[in-house]
Amino acid sequence: MTARSSQTDTALERARTLIESADEAPSLQQLADAVKLSPTYLQRAFRRRYGVSPAEYHRARRFDQLKAALREGAQVTAAVYDAGFGSGSRVYEHSDRLFGMTPASYRAGGAGADIRYTTTATPLGRLLVATTTRGICSVTLGENDTELESRLSAEFPLATRERVDEGREEWLDAVIAHIAGELGWRDATATTMPPLDVAATAFQWRVWEALTRIPAGTTKSYGELARELGLPGGARAIGQACGNNRLALIVPCHRVVREDGSLGGWRWGVDRKRDLLAREQRRMNERQRKAG
């Protein structure tokens, strides 16, 4: 690492710390003066490192604070202002993307949301797929239906949850068919994925979208993915975004490994990750043999 890059890294970390500790979003000029970089260079370098602009980073941090307060039972209005938002209208402008539901519904554990779900057997264990009226909100793997249903209940404790088996709805079938076809468990009967309804920041969406571009049967390290996204030194942030993924197999975070090639962890179990990668590798090899 050159002296200049080291100084830039230090300046960017200082800027990030200032943003996180600020009640009001500091202007780009204020941040630039504080860390002794030009505003243009700071904006460009910060986005390269963290995937978002300083202003977007501050907004995402405020939403994180708001979500934590709502989960702890704070009143919506109080939580909105305590998190630094000047009005509730700004929160609701972004709530669909950052919460997957309105703040009031999020605070109430999904109250008012109608969730339909089903489970099915896979070579990796039981799979649960859940949807709201707007899209897929959860795809999880587990040992049995009791475990999977408990997870769904914990994530959305006050939502209306209905199991759908006979005549499963189109979105549920589409996800199951997509996963089955992608992983070679059976021929896909649906080629178009339905929309998603998950809570995520802009940075998480960016990482998840990049994960979907990793071909089945291959892996990338957290560092490689960070560099591809223009985030040198951002491996830990990539790992955190992977850890927040609640869409097993749809967002293939299992294809990301440590720098030394070891598997690392996976929300749904490292043994499943190992099995899944091996299956994908075998399928890729079979396709190459047929093509050759």
Sign of the CA dihedral running 95, 240, 123, 278? positive
Residues facing residue 136 across a β-bridge: 131, 196
Residue 242 annotated among the catalytic residues of the structure: no
- Burial of 143-172, coded b for 16+ CB within 10 Å and e otherwise, reads eeeeebbebbeebbeebebeeeeeebeebb
In 3D space, the residue among 135, 209, 204 whose CA is nearest the CA of residue 170 turns out to be 135
Catalytically annotated residue among 253, 256, 276, 277 = 253
Spatial contact of 140 and 151, defined as CB atoms under 8 Å apart: yes
The residue with tokens 């057997």 is: 121
Residues in contact with 157: Cβ distance below 8 Å, sequence separation at least 6, in sequence order: 109, 110
Spatial contact of 273 and 254, defined as CB atoms under 8 Å apart: yes
Report, as residue numbers or ranges, the catalytic residues: 253
